[in-house]
Structure 1
Amino acid sequence: MDVERVRKDFPILERTVGEGRPLVYLDSAASSQKPRQVIEAMSDYYAHHHSNVHRGVHALAEEATALYEGARDKVAAFINAPDRNEVIFTKNSSEALNLVASVLGWAGEPYGLGPGDRVVITQMEHHSNIVPWQLTTQRTGSELAWLGLTDDGRLDLSNLDEVVNEHTKVVSVVHVSNILGTVNPLEVIVRRAHDVGAVVVVDASQSAPHLPLDVQTLGADFVAFTGHKMLGPTGIGVLWGRAELLNELPPFLGGGEMVGVVNMEGSTYAPIPHKYEAGTMPIAEAVGLGAAVDYLTALGMDNVARHEHEIVSYALERLGAVDGLRIIGPTEPEQHGAAISFILSVEGLGEIHPHDVGQVLDEQGIAVRVGQHCARPVCVRYGIPATTRASFSVYTTRAEIDALVDGLEHVKRFFGA
């Protein structure tokens, strides 16, 4: 993959920040930048095709509907969904995960949750895959359990059979950690969950932009991811779910488009996917996501994964050689996603708070993320207040990794002085 050619597609990478410094954007795990193709697709939609979708019979309504549903077709092909109607548009991964947690809490047998049932998550999860399950288990009287972490930043599966037991109804797990970069062995977890009859939910927010994602091979029952981390716009996410589950479970939100027939005494619901898409959906954002999927598909997800593996390998090598820097999470490039978190120390001074590291790096034009990354239990596990995180995408270069390392040396000199 020609990364220099790719970078020309991203207008924001041409700008400078601060005192005229070239932008070094290493915060793609929070939100990726957008290529011209996505920006232009959304602009063209608003300029030439905008209308509400589905129920209009005029030309603009039909054009908008074709673009919106065309985006669903593109996403379905991108993740190898067996049925395009299994692709539900949401506003982000958080909403998709809340949707699943809520409807499983509302459902009756055999999928519904109640006293004596167990939901299993992990200590590695983003808050969006913790809090919804806390709310649901509290509401239903079911139990929340979790898998812990090893010292090197991987899931501790030594007690998998004990945690995922015969009472387990749901297992919800992140594919790639947004803070540790760990790629989890989903096949082992999915197999155990299905052995006990549990539904499996996968948060693929940090894998869909970086790795080939085949929901049929993955074997999960639900998969959530978001557009803005995969070169698409904000305000659009995806929930894929097995049709038999989506057909059986209750709706999430009520209102226009998700209904069949409405009477004062009660209502019937539209078939999937519309059953879960109440009200006017993010139409332009879906068009933008479709353009992002086109862009990634043209690059080839195998090529994307290969490029980012090379970048991660180089970054782990360079950062590992920085005196006083401690990587939080796996230090080997194998089964490592496109994010690296670390703590920086200065001799005689100790650890520099990540917020200070990030601020000084920003003065050098280097954009990283600092904080707990919506993964506070990970920070608690490793006894740290926060981390500095560098994260990568299709447009990241080795020169940017070099700039980060030079910037960290500047940070050390700044605080050391």
Structure 2
Amino acid sequence: MSISNSFRLGSPDIFPPCERHVYLDAASVGLSHKGGAEAISNWQNALAEEGTIAFDEQAEVECLDNLNDATARLFNATTDDIAVASSETTLMQSLAWAVMPGKGTKVVTTDTTHPSSIYPWKRLCDHTGAEISWARSDATMTIDTDALEAMIDDDTSVVVLSHVEWGTGQLFDLKRFADKAHKHGAILVIDATQSAGQVPIDVAATGADAVATSTYKWLCGPFGTGMMYVSPELQKLNPGILGWRSHKDMWDFQANRLELADNAKRYEFGTMAYGTAYGATESVRHLLDTGFDKIVAHNRKVSNHLIDGLRELGADVLGPKDEADRSATVAARFPGKNSRDFAKTLKDANVIASLRRDFIRFSPHYYNNIDDIDQGLEAIKAAL
């Protein structure tokens, strides 16, 4: 049975703005799950009214345990393998200092990796004398995966990749790079902020050693929450950032001794805006209940329609040509048009996308439909 052009896998009841705007900007900030936003508001109001009566120590534990459980399902991991904190970047920074690649080794990455993925490792390399080894993209901002794989050798200590590149949406095969890294005694560390929520992530099947994500993009959650899968081997290391939550018994409160948790919880470190965890839990659960097979198929249909339409309008679509190497993120340049001016023109036409460097990035998600894409293409055609 064919699906109508107006069909949205993510209901407008849950994502009201999708009926008011042509919102193609999940890679910047995803539309927030309505139930998640309500959960945050309810927590904040209860805290304001009753303080610790509404949010006691048990509630504080259960709040993050629920997100931990949802994240474990998201990554096909165990709850012992998940750490929760206030952002992906802080988790990545703590992990970098735990791994601490030494002088004479190298960290392999790409020049299209998001700064939040690599700056923590760059800072660490400046400290230890390790080097960053960059895979260079071509004119379409595409990474040659064969060349990237060839860079991984016995001098490599860490391979750091964005599962989906922030600019073009290029999608990397995690198992391929985990296998190559492990063959040379290295580890694979993944920033999944641009992939979690739009493509499946299976740490058990791929062998990735660490996977960190924020929640405010494709997971349709709030700002202020990050989660990280940590492999059992990396759970034995001493995190770079420590706090009261790192302790095996976080309620011990004895400053003169520290017994780190026996699992990924040692990478948790401090008090956070717990309400965001309630919101993130709701949004992740909704995505899991929807089913990633359905989300991938829906997003593929919508993004392919966008790519075909852009090419018909003469746009230069960036990134890989092979569908298997792409996600739902679509980047394009428009010959003869200044991208900054063009982005403003689209926004004035209620088509919400992002200006990035010298191109426009479109990122439809499961709350979009074919009609959205057609409206966007009509606005682009008029602007051209």
TM-score normalized by the length of structure 1: 0.83
Structure 1 unmatched ranges of 5 or more: 15-21, 106-112, 373-385, 413-417
In structure 2, the CA distance between the partners of 1:340 and 1:234, relative to structure 1 (3 Å rule), is same
Distance (Å, rounded) in 1 between the aligned partners of 2:47 and 2:288: 24
Could you tell me how far 1:160 is from its partner in structure 2?
4.6
Structure 2 residue 212 is matched with structure 1 residue 240: no
Report the alpha carbon displacement of residue 183 of structure 1 after superposing the two structures with TM: 1.1
- Report the counterpart of residue 378 of structure 1 in structure 2: none
In the alignment, is the contact (CA less than 8 A) between 2:18 and 2:368 conserved in 1? no
The residue that corresponds to 2:367 in the other structure is 395
- Verify: 1:44 aligned to 2:42, yes or no: yes
2:98 counterpart of 1:103: yes
Is residue 156–residue 184 contact of structure 2 (8 Å, CA) maintained in 1?
yes
Matched, 1:89 2:60: no
- The answer for the alignment partner of 1:312 in structure 2 is 303
Unaligned runs of 5+ in 2: none
Pairwise CA distance, 1:223: 0.4
In 2, Cα distance between equivalents of 1:135 and 1:52: 43
Determine which of 275, 279, 286 is the counterpart of 1:288.
Answer: 279
1:356 and 2:341 are equivalent in the alignment:
yes
1:87 alignment partner AA: I
Matched to 1:232, the amino acid is G
Post-superposition CA distance 1:114-156 (Å, at most 9, x none): 2111111112211112222221111101121122335555432
Q: C-alpha distance in 1, partners of 2:137/2:55?
A: 55
Asked if 1 retains the 8 angstrom alpha-carbon contact of 2:21 and 2:351, the reply is yes
Tell me the CA shift for residue 100 of structure 1: 1.9
Decide which of 361, 379, 384 is 1:407's aligned counterpart. 379
Task: Report which stretch shifted further, 177-186 or 234-243.
Answer: 177-186
Tell me how far apart the structure 2 counterparts of residues 212 and 44 of structure 1 sit (CA, whole Å): 30
| Residue type at the aligned position of 1:336 | R
Does the C-alpha gap of structure 1 residues 249 and 317 become closer, same or farther in structure 2, counting only changes over 3 Å? same
Q: Does 1:11 align with 2:16?
A: yes
Matched, 1:75 2:71: yes
Given the superposition, is the C-alpha separation of residues 52 and 192 from structure 1 closer, same or farther in structure 2, using an over 3 Å criterion? Answer: farther
Q: Deviations over 1:83-138 (max 9, x none)?
A: 20211112222223222222222xxxxxxx22111111112211112222221111
Matched, 1:194 2:182: yes
Matched with 2:110 is 122
Judged with a 3 Å threshold, the aligned counterparts in structure 2 of structure 1 residues 87 and 52 are, in CA distance, closer, same or farther, namely: farther
Deviates more, 1:269-278 or 1:302-311: 269-278
Q: CA RMSD in A?
A: 2.6
Separation of aligned partners in 2, 1:80 and 1:4 = 23
Alpha-carbon distance change, 296 to 51 in structure 1, aligned in 2, over 3 angstroms: farther
Deviation at 1:38, TM superposition (A): 1.0
Q: Deviations over 1:364-388 (max 9, x none)?
A: 111110023xxxxxxxxxxxxx211
Alpha-carbon distance, 1:161 to partner: 5.8
Correspondence 1:335 to 2:320: no
Structure with more contact order per residue of length (Cα contacts < 8 Å, sep ≥ 6): 2
How far off its partner does 1:272 sit?
3.4
Moved more, 147-156 or 64-73: 147-156
TM-score by length of 2: 0.90
Q: 1:5 and 1:239 mapped to 2: Cα distance?
A: 25
What's the secondary structure of 1:7's corresponding residue?
coil
Give, as a single letter, the amino acid of the residue that structure 2 aligns with 1:30.
Answer: S
Q: Percent identity?
A: 25
**Bigger Cα Rg:** 1
Change (3 A) 1:403 1:331: farther
**1:251 match: secondary structure:** coil
Q: Flag the 1:148–1:49 CA change in 2: closer, same or farther, 3 A.
A: same
Cα separation, 2, equivalents of 1:294 and 1:265:
39
Whichever residue aligns with residue 250 of structure 1, its letter is N
**Distance 1:395-1:249 versus aligned 2 partners, 3 A rule:** same
Alignment deviations for residues 290-330 of structure 1 (CA, whole Å, 9 cap, x no partner): 1011111121111011100101111111111003x211212
Distance in 1, matches of 2:144 and 2:8, equals: 36
After TM superposition, list the pairs within 5 Å mapping 1:117-156 onto structure 2.
Answer: 117-150=105-138, 153-156=141-144
What residue in structure 1 maps to residue 62 of structure 2?
A: 66
The size of the alignment, in residue pairs, is 375
Counterparts of 1:215-254 in structure 2, within 5 Å, are: 215-229=203-217, 230-246=219-235, 248-254=236-242
